[in-house]
Structure 1
Amino acid sequence: MGARVGLLLLGLLGAAGGCGYESCPATEPKMLNVHLIPHTHNDVGWLKTVDQYFYGARNDIQHAGVQYILDSVMPQLQADPTKRFVYVEVAFFYRWWQLQPEPIRQLVRELINQGRLEFANGGWCMNDEAAVHYNAVVDQLTLGLRFLQETFGACGRPRVAWHIDPFGHAREQASLFAQMGFDGFFIGRLDYQDKANRERLREMEQVWRGSSSLKPPAADLFTGVLPNGYGPPFSFCWDQFCSDNPIVDDKSDENNVAERVSSFLRVAEAQAKHYRTNHIVMTMGSDFQYENANLWYKNMDKLLQHVNAQQANGSRVHVLYSTPSCYLWALNQANLTWSLKHDDFFPYADGPHQFWTGYFTSRPSFKRYERLSNNFLQVCKQLEALAGPGIRKGPYGEGDSSVLRRAMAVAQHHDAVSGTEKQHVANDYAKRLAAGWEACQVLVSNALATISGSKENFIFCNYLNMSVCPLSEAAGQFTVILYNPLGRSVRWIVRLPVNGAQYSVMDTDGQAVLSEIIPVSNFTRQLRRDRGNARLELIFPAVAPALGYATFAVTRLAGERQLGPQEIHARPLEIHNEHVRVLFDPVTGLLQEIQNLDKGITLPVTQGFFWYNASIGNEESSQASGAYIFRPNRSEPIPMAWRVHTYLVKNRLVQEVYQNFSAWCSQVVRLYAGESHVELEWTVGPIPTDDGWGKEIISRFDTPLETDGCFYTDSNGREIQERRRNFRPTWNLSQTEPVAGNYYPVNSRIYIKNRKFQLTVLTDRSQGGTSVSDGSLELMVHRRLLYDDDRGVGEPLMEPGDFHDGLVVRGRHLVLLDTVESSPTRHRLQAQQEFMAPQLVLAPGSAAPSTQGQRFTALRQDLPHNIHLLTLAQWDANSILLRLEHQFEQGESANGSQPVTLNLLNLFSSFTITALQEMNLAANQRREDVTRLTWWLEPGAARPQPPPKLDPSRVTLEPMEIRTFLATVQHRDTGGGLAARWVER
């Protein structure tokens, strides 16, 4: 049927009464209502790249073409007003939408306005929940939801979150969805023991409290477990990929109506036993299904017809086309009292010995690249907002933050940052991020030129982690610009590869900055191979103002300086600064003890590297360790070395102990002057496998702390969750894997404590971690495996690395020892500083100190230490998206957990706020317009309080609260550069 005729038909048939819950089909109150939900799940990359999936290329890998799915579904919906369909991944829909002629677009708008084409989630992708940071999750959901809002209005706004495929679920994810105004959340995967227990107790649906700090129901979200993952019931799949029999209902010998109806009624009856209302849900679809939507709808039409016909014979089953929101609405109207969940859904296992905890670490270099890319994206967005909307086209060309925004959004997909994709797909994800960096670097250069009032040849050194930067290596003079994206000033150690023996460093006031030269280590030379030729590294401390930058002039001096006195080729006994002392075993060379000199704390701490043999299956289970699943072949790991080769580098700014564990594993234990944490910089790989064993490498810390089986991890970088070994809060665990079954995702920190002391380790990327015995803490840093784990990716995790001999990974752990009372403040602020690290930009030549543009801050005063500037981004030509968050939990810190009140009108110096509108977290609804369904709990429903009238001069944030604003702004006159006018605060 042509689009024009179809539109006429829609107009004649009419809609059910608009979009949203009022468009839901009628149900039968005295029957079992079976909600059929036609849907497709489209991975934004997995076995094929995003482009290959969209266009249907490389069908030799997997037959899948997303554009054909949408092409096929629309005529089916057009032809029959009872039919419905659910779509999720906006990254694909956006691309399809750009290709459509106006008649098809108008058809889609009509379908959405009638509630028959429904979006769930609405994010750019269906993001992972284990390896993601909340900042990136908020961004990717905002990106997709904004497109839906601007394209389809209120009817395009999803009411339901739909995470049917991620491999475990985080409490913070539920909190974010609730704060974005969602009414419900449906999940497809949970631990097999958890599911069996829920089925027995009929607790497949309950309310999930996503935050222990936010006042209910702000972070409460009704959550339902789908009965069959996200696929159809057994034998009722009618896609071109399926082999189930169609329903034959004519006079053919193949007529199977009686058998099909009988079988369906049995399935419905069995499923209903596990749910509490007279409504159950069946997900009719799966991965990349509906390329031929006629197959599905023709058979579902017959199913509805013949099952409902049995009502005349006494059947109490009613089948209908439905959507997630209509099913949720039916549950809400049941007016039941629901139980409450406080913990999360990690770790996930789909059977004994099958814990999906390996992906917490898989592809560690990409996990780090994703984290760095988020850091740079925030810098890019901030500078775009601060310099004004005109900077996209500037002296360095046309910059664009949207390229990195979309690449980062794709990277949050549950087969991207998770590390569970094929190698060529991982390469494509990295390529997309690299293109985003390139576009944002142009934008940042334009912004810096606008703010400073001068044009420089800005240089970005992207390989500083292996001491490569051509400008600093060769230039006799260069300028260092350190931009700080945090709302408070920070002290940062600048470390640059150089070849001169002496340098002077001058700050913006023309004052000399203490600097030191140290040799580039053999570890780094081995890592970089033939990339870069620096022999030395220049180190100096730099203070960058809040939401701004400071500039430093670096000049190479003539003459040679002897490096011998600072380098001691002997086994070190200790390193120390004014805050911390670290002792080493004189025999083994391993870390032995950490002392907090400020608090008078001494704790024996032994740290070393170990590896687990990756299982290839045994008599208990054939399950092998792979990209998804972690399964060691024994519980005790193998030590990398009991004794290590060491040497010491020591000067006024840094003390470093170099430990060589093996030919492919080394570490630097580092103390910078003035810092109160110990830095462990580890380099691991290529992991050898010529012995026939895949290996999973861990860094383990052992202490005498009595921890009673407990340890603590963050949830996506925000709230902390207590973990107990071999324990689940909501069911009696039968533990089959004492190591893998106790691994949890660590996004930013993990710690152990007793009543007095706490040992915290901060990570620079998401990793798997655990405490397998009291006083012990471990983090998996790298893994290389020889077998596939049979979860679909179809290849072992054997990353080739840059030189195709295996991946080498370098990373950092920051270790903090403190009292239990002081630790929350320290680890929160330090983790945030690591996550939102200053951005280093270089320029050739050395600008004269104290001239205009050498120092800039966009804030009139630093934000309080417990307030974080989560988002500052250009929204449109006249407005800016602003998110502020309280970064402490309720009762976590005596000072940090207090409410904070800010005057937003007097906060920024580079623009004036002329109007302010508070929004929900996703910025797709005004806060006062947000209405969510009410769910009854014992002893009653927690009812939301209406937001107070917004006073921009008095905005209060409670612990863990995020407040989102659209600010209409007027930028200051940039003539001569903003920095020239706003150096003084």
Structure 2
Amino acid sequence: MKFIKLILFVFLIIIVSSSNASKIKNKDNEVINAFLIPHSHCDVGWVETYDQYYTENVSVILDSVVHALINDPTKKFNWAEIIYFERWWNEQSSIIQAKVRDLVDRKQLYFIGGGWAQNDEATIHYEAVINQMTLGHQFLLSEFGVVPEIGWQIDPFGPSTLTATLFSLMGFKYHVINRIDERIKYVFNTTPDIPGSGYMSTEREFEFVWFPSPNNQDLSIFTHILDHHYSSPYLIYPNASNPNISLSTGFDFEGGADNNPSINETNINERACILVEIIQQRAALYRHNNVLLPFGNDFRYQNATLEFSNMDKLIEYINANSSFGVNLQYGTLNEYFEEVFKETDNSTKIFPELVATDYFVYTMCLSVDYQNFNTCANWWSGYYTSYPLLKGTVRESDSILRVGEMLYALASAYDIGFGSDFDFNIGFYALDFHRNVSGILTHHDATTGTAKAYVRENYFEMLYEAESLTMNYNVPHFVGYLLANQTINRDYTTNASLMAGAQVDDIFGISFTNSLGWDRSEFISIEMPSNMNVAVYDSNFNPIVSQVVQRQDKGGKWYLFYQVETPALGISTYFVVVLDIDGQITNPDLLSFISTNEKFTPIVSETTFSQSIDYDDSISSKPVVSIGNLLYNLNFNFDANNNNLLTLKSYDDLLRGQMAIPLSQQFIEYTSMSDDAYKFRPTGLPISLTPINPQFYLTSGPIVQLVTIIYNNNCSQTFFVYNSTTTNGHSSTNNSLISENQFFEIDNIVASGWDKEIAIRFTSSIQNSNKFYTNNGLEVMKREYQIRWNDTLPWSEIAGNFFPVVNTGYIVDEYNQLTLLTKQTVAGSSQGEGLFELLLIRRSNYTQWSVHEPMNDTSNPTIKVRVLFGDPNRIEQIRTPHSLLFENPLLPVFTQINEIGIEKWLSLYNTVFKPLKASLPYNLHLLTMTKQWMDSSVNIFRAINIYELGQSNDFSQPVNLSLQELLGNFNVSNIVETSLSANNVISSEKSNSIITLNPLQLKTYLLNLNSK
């Protein structure tokens, strides 16, 4: 997202000789080495779709650039987005491919970043980032033997510590970023000035050594922040007739001749002087005599000859005139960094260090804001939430992809002794397509919700097609393959509607796949056609307790709840039998089977209707409704200040014997001033969302209790409280680490009117002293509510204190911690003492200037939030495993058993698949088990210690892992530790070696996996 000509800055940059900056190097009379970095920033969808961009722009760019490089060995080019390059590469003749290989070998064509796309850094889960970078890096390795070394994240809307951490693990030496709060970059000294602005300019801190992770001080990456965006060199100067307006002139030769005139004999001296002035200004910002000058912009070099031929004249003219004191040359990023460290004797001592700090919230400084508000009131915290249905669909799709990857890897390594006609190739192609789509959606204008409406719909289409391939082929086929005993069950389907036509005597088998490396015991729900009597049996055909629940937030539909136990990375099958109206089995085959053993006698599901809760002012001082379990109660009462809305008011902590701890929750609503998909600009403080003839319902049963609050304006909330799960027939105790009764869950169904933005806010007695915590998916970042710079505007104080919550946010004091877990990224904040809120959905009638559309989100998504509350030590012990369990639900496949009969079915198919020798400890997460290549038995295996330093006395410890023991059901060989994207060998492991993972340490291995 660019349009630099529309961003008219009204500041002057002043370089102040202060502190250490002036002592670093005397730069007078020294030649400046200016490296022009030819590049083209190619969005993977934004105002046009990915396909349109490729066909109309990118293919033309690559044709033009390659032609220019082939014809002139002095020309160089830097390329980042590999999804486009791979597509173009596959369309080329062998002759062109050979010439391109030569360009790569000579480093005329240089790959930077090297991921599938230039991923967003605020809303994307780290697993998706790793996957998309692996796609790009593996292509470059296999085709060219290239291992990228430099990050190029020039357009994401705020750099995250997560990206710097991951890039360091990928072996990157250098990292280039761009979009940070512009008051950090520039001195704003017009009237009025912005005190403290521009320290990067005054202190020459545009380059630093970034230590991104507080959990691993060994990780660092040398980072360069672009001083003036990523467009070709330009100069901004005041308009003599109107000093409130700035003008620009530059060298983007495809960007319009008015501001970027072509070079000729008449103007070459004038244009050279302007370019030298730009170079000198920028050189003053650095602690050496080298300048990195981006030479490109969005989709530039469709006419590479125009770009290069004009710049050639300037290079020749400037270099021939020593009085300029500039050596100007085309360069690749590595050449720039190599020259920097050559000048500094390969030392980073002259550069500052940045530790565990990110650059959220990004703020753009527009002249209209500066003139109207005397500051840069343009906080880009809105996109953390914008278009939540898309964000949720992306995360759901990635969870399905994870299941598909695991099943394919295991099935490929598992020889069942028959089924030679089983087609693994179709499964690989389906996975490969899903991987590509997942990579596309990491793009910084995709999941962010910042693309045009029809482009966003195109993203949805790609997601649904990818999900469909994985769900309709990979998952059911590979589950059938892995559960085969005498034959393969080819009748599995992921379509839950199979049960929609359920009738008395029907028997359904439901097999659940667990993509995590832990044994799991949890409650699941399956939609039923009505409140019919059913009985549920586990994988050993033992009857288990179940509950049929009516959900008024789903239009009165019925759902079957029961407990499922699955082995680590395995599959378990459960059976649902439809009984008659009296709760009896009438299926002759099943009756015969049950008669052989009394233990098969069914336990009829308990049907629990929704009971209406009516307002009664005579008992308003006491809890009207309480739902709870052995660990806690939730207490609800009517809120006289909001149309007598039934509202959560307090929490009983039964573990500590503390009753009625203040904890309330409600929907709140902000009114938009001029919001768009990027920025958040409400008019001021929010108000409670006012219900319209609200309705309240209570549902209670042996497994789950529900309180449903329907606002009757397309918004509702349903609170879920689960009883304790059991393991192998034994109730979970309070000493169990993870159990379903430790959290309560809220299903938020939301819709927004024009210029309204809805959040869920918790109010507690926690004294958090303006401090709160959000995470980047991998580790927690400490935040503090504060006024930044001189920006005391009411909406800025709100928007400037919202941060991305990838899956976890919390507030804490000495006594209590309130933790909110999500399945998708949202904006989160603590706007006051004891408060924590998540922004759920946004809609605005304001037309955004870059996509020329309002943020018209008419969706009605369900956004789930899990809540952990209580003793901080206990919550910290359990929050990370709970987050992973929440993000990666068990995936069911269905089959109907009536025709074959249950006894015959059980003889043909196994009901459990257990691939691992043991469940992993809770601080060890099996992040990746992927068969990346179709014609190879090599798998990518990643494991991570998910606990941070100091998070838990028990689990923030080194943990050991033996791959041979864990995967003992297979032959494991050729274990090699690699960089994160598996493109660079670190060491070869002995077959019986033990891997040690320290807190939040992530390691990657290549290994051969074959059947024993």
- TM-score range relative to shorter protein: 0.7 to 0.9
Assess if the C-alpha contact under 8 Å between 1:500 and 1:556 holds in 2.
no
Report the Cα distance in structure 2 between the residues aligned to 1:566 and 1:500, rounded to whole angstroms.
9
Report the Cα distance in structure 2 between the residues aligned to 1:258 and 1:754, rounded to whole angstroms.
65
The equivalent of 1:671 in structure 2 is 721
- Which residue, out of 267, 278, 292, partners 2:278? 267
3-state SS of paired residue (1:444): helix
Report the Cα distance in structure 2 between the residues aligned to 1:469 and 1:416, rounded to whole angstroms.
35
Name the amino acid aligned to 1:394: F
Name the amino acid aligned to 1:405: R
Name the amino acid aligned to 2:837: E
In the TM superposition, 1:188-203 aligns within 5 A as 188-195=178-185, 196-203=198-205
| Alignment partner of 1:172 is 2:162 | yes
Count the aligned residue pairs.
873
Choose 768-777 or 902-911, whichever is displaced more.
902-911
The equivalent of 2:228 in structure 1 is 228
Report the Cα distance in structure 1 between the residues aligned to 2:181 and 2:687, rounded to whole angstroms.
25
> 1:788 offset after TM fit, Å?
2.2
Report the Cα distance in structure 1 between the residues aligned to 2:261 and 2:420, rounded to whole angstroms.
56
String of CA shifts for 1:41-99, please: whole Å, max 9, x gaps: 0000111111111111xxxxxxxx11000000012111222211011111110110011
Report the Cα distance in structure 2 between the residues aligned to 1:125 and 1:702, rounded to whole angstroms.
40
In the TM superposition, 1:700-711 aligns within 5 A as 700-711=761-772
The equivalent of 2:493 in structure 1 is 459
The equivalent of 2:189 in structure 1 is none
3-state SS of paired residue (2:297): coil
Name the amino acid aligned to 1:164: I
The equivalent of 1:366 in structure 2 is 390
String of CA shifts for 1:736-767, please: whole Å, max 9, x gaps: 70111101000001000112211001011000
After TM superposition, the score normalised by the length of structure 1 is 0.85
The equivalent of 1:383 in structure 2 is 407
Assess if the C-alpha contact under 8 Å between 1:247 and 1:257 holds in 2.
no
Assess if the C-alpha contact under 8 Å between 1:392 and 1:443 holds in 2.
no
The equivalent of 2:174 in structure 1 is 184
Report the Cα distance in structure 2 between the residues aligned to 1:381 and 1:198, rounded to whole angstroms.
44
> 1:324 offset after TM fit, Å?
1.6
Report the Cα distance in structure 2 between the residues aligned to 1:165 and 1:475, rounded to whole angstroms.
59
| Alignment partner of 1:832 is 2:898 | no
> 1:246 offset after TM fit, Å?
3.7
Name the amino acid aligned to 2:353: L
Name the amino acid aligned to 2:233: P
String of CA shifts for 1:624-665, please: whole Å, max 9, x gaps: 210111100113344334995312011111110011224221
> 1:961 offset after TM fit, Å?
0.9
The equivalent of 2:573 in structure 1 is 551
Assess if the C-alpha contact under 8 Å between 1:142 and 1:922 holds in 2.
yes
Name the amino acid aligned to 2:250: F
3-state SS of paired residue (1:752): strand
Report the Cα distance in structure 2 between the residues aligned to 1:460 and 1:949, rounded to whole angstroms.
39
3-state SS of paired residue (1:394): coil
- Which residue, out of 354, 359, 382, partners 1:341? 354
Assess if the C-alpha contact under 8 Å between 1:174 and 1:210 holds in 2.
yes
Instruction: Assess, with a 3 A threshold, how the Cα gap between structure 1 residues 727 and 720 changes in structure 2: closer, same or farther.
Output: farther
Assess if the C-alpha contact under 8 Å between 2:402 and 2:515 holds in 1.
yes
The equivalent of 1:864 in structure 2 is 921
String of CA shifts for 1:8-40, please: whole Å, max 9, x gaps: xxxxxxxxxxxxxxxxxxx99941111100100
| Alignment partner of 1:318 is 2:330 | no
- Which residue, out of 658, 663, 684, partners 1:605? 663
Report the Cα distance in structure 2 between the residues aligned to 1:340 and 1:721, rounded to whole angstroms.
18
Name the amino acid aligned to 1:725: Y
3-state SS of paired residue (1:165): coil
- Which residue, out of 922, 926, 930, partners 2:981? 922
> 1:598 offset after TM fit, Å?
2.2
| Alignment partner of 1:502 is 2:533 | yes
Assess if the C-alpha contact under 8 Å between 2:669 and 2:686 holds in 1.
no
Name the amino acid aligned to 2:104: I
Instruction: Assess, with a 3 A threshold, how the Cα gap between structure 1 residues 732 and 966 changes in structure 2: closer, same or farther.
Output: farther
Instruction: Assess, with a 3 A threshold, how the Cα gap between structure 1 residues 700 and 433 changes in structure 2: closer, same or farther.
Output: same
The equivalent of 2:464 in structure 1 is 434
Instruction: Assess, with a 3 A threshold, how the Cα gap between structure 1 residues 99 and 202 changes in structure 2: closer, same or farther.
Output: same
Q: Which runs of 5+ in 2 are unaligned?
A: 1-26, 186-197, 235-248, 366-375, 584-604, 615-623, 725-740
Q: Which runs of 5+ in 1 are unaligned?
A: 1-26, 57-64, 526-533, 616-623, 800-805, 929-947, 973-985
3-state SS of paired residue (1:48): coil
Assess if the C-alpha contact under 8 Å between 2:550 and 2:609 holds in 1.
no
- Which residue, out of 406, 427, 451, partners 2:436? 406
Instruction: Assess, with a 3 A threshold, how the Cα gap between structure 1 residues 137 and 816 changes in structure 2: closer, same or farther.
Output: same
> 1:594 offset after TM fit, Å?
1.8
The equivalent of 2:299 in structure 1 is 288
3-state SS of paired residue (2:40): coil
String of CA shifts for 1:589-630, please: whole Å, max 9, x gaps: 100112332233453111000111111xxxxxxxx2101111
Name the amino acid aligned to 1:53: Y
Report the Cα distance in structure 2 between the residues aligned to 1:98 and 1:190, rounded to whole angstroms.
37
3-state SS of paired residue (1:457): coil
Instruction: Assess, with a 3 A threshold, how the Cα gap between structure 1 residues 341 and 656 changes in structure 2: closer, same or farther.
Output: same
> 1:172 offset after TM fit, Å?
0.9
Assess if the C-alpha contact under 8 Å between 1:403 and 1:435 holds in 2.
no
Report the Cα distance in structure 1 between the residues aligned to 2:214 and 2:81, rounded to whole angstroms.
30
Assess if the C-alpha contact under 8 Å between 1:880 and 1:967 holds in 2.
yes
The equivalent of 1:204 in structure 2 is 206
Choose 595-604 or 737-746, whichever is displaced more.
595-604
Instruction: Assess, with a 3 A threshold, how the Cα gap between structure 1 residues 832 and 408 changes in structure 2: closer, same or farther.
Output: same
3-state SS of paired residue (1:212): coil
Report the Cα distance in structure 1 between the residues aligned to 2:566 and 2:970, rounded to whole angstroms.
20
Choose 130-139 or 487-496, whichever is displaced more.
487-496
> 1:432 offset after TM fit, Å?
1.2
Choose 860-869 or 351-360, whichever is displaced more.
351-360
Name the amino acid aligned to 1:385: A
Assess if the C-alpha contact under 8 Å between 1:460 and 1:842 holds in 2.
yes
- Which residue, out of 963, 970, 978, partners 2:1003? 963
Name the amino acid aligned to 2:675: S
Assess if the C-alpha contact under 8 Å between 1:392 and 1:446 holds in 2.
no
Report the Cα distance in structure 2 between the residues aligned to 1:643 and 1:817, rounded to whole angstroms.
31
In the TM superposition, 1:702-851 aligns within 5 A as 702-715=763-776, 717-726=777-786, 737-790=796-849, 792-799=850-857, 806-845=858-897, 847-848=902-903, 851=907
String of CA shifts for 1:281-330, please: whole Å, max 9, x gaps: 1111100110000111011111111111121xx33211111112211222
3-state SS of paired residue (2:800): helix
Report the Cα distance in structure 1 between the residues aligned to 2:469 and 2:747, rounded to whole angstroms.
30
| Alignment partner of 1:240 is 2:251 | no
Identity of aligned residues (%): 29
Assess if the C-alpha contact under 8 Å between 2:385 and 2:826 holds in 1.
yes
- Which residue, out of 69, 74, 97, partners 2:89? 97
The equivalent of 1:880 in structure 2 is 939
RMSD: 2.4
In the TM superposition, 1:20-169 aligns within 5 A as 30-56=30-56, 65-153=57-145, 156-169=146-159
> 1:818 offset after TM fit, Å?
2.4
> 1:438 offset after TM fit, Å?
2.3
In the TM superposition, 1:507-526 aligns within 5 A as 507-521=538-552, 523-525=553-555
Assess if the C-alpha contact under 8 Å between 1:35 and 1:327 holds in 2.
yes
Assess if the C-alpha contact under 8 Å between 2:31 and 2:326 holds in 1.
yes
After TM superposition, the score normalised by the length of structure 2 is 0.83
> 1:735 offset after TM fit, Å?
6.8
Report the Cα distance in structure 2 between the residues aligned to 1:748 and 1:742, rounded to whole angstroms.
18
Report the Cα distance in structure 1 between the residues aligned to 2:224 and 2:582, rounded to whole angstroms.
69
Name the amino acid aligned to 2:494: F
Assess if the C-alpha contact under 8 Å between 1:395 and 1:446 holds in 2.
no
Report the Cα distance in structure 2 between the residues aligned to 1:220 and 1:132, rounded to whole angstroms.
21
Assess if the C-alpha contact under 8 Å between 1:590 and 1:643 holds in 2.
no
The equivalent of 1:912 in structure 2 is 971
Name the amino acid aligned to 2:475: V
3-state SS of paired residue (1:516): strand
Assess if the C-alpha contact under 8 Å between 1:735 and 1:741 holds in 2.
no
String of CA shifts for 1:656-701, please: whole Å, max 9, x gaps: 001122422110011011221011111112x233xxxx11110000
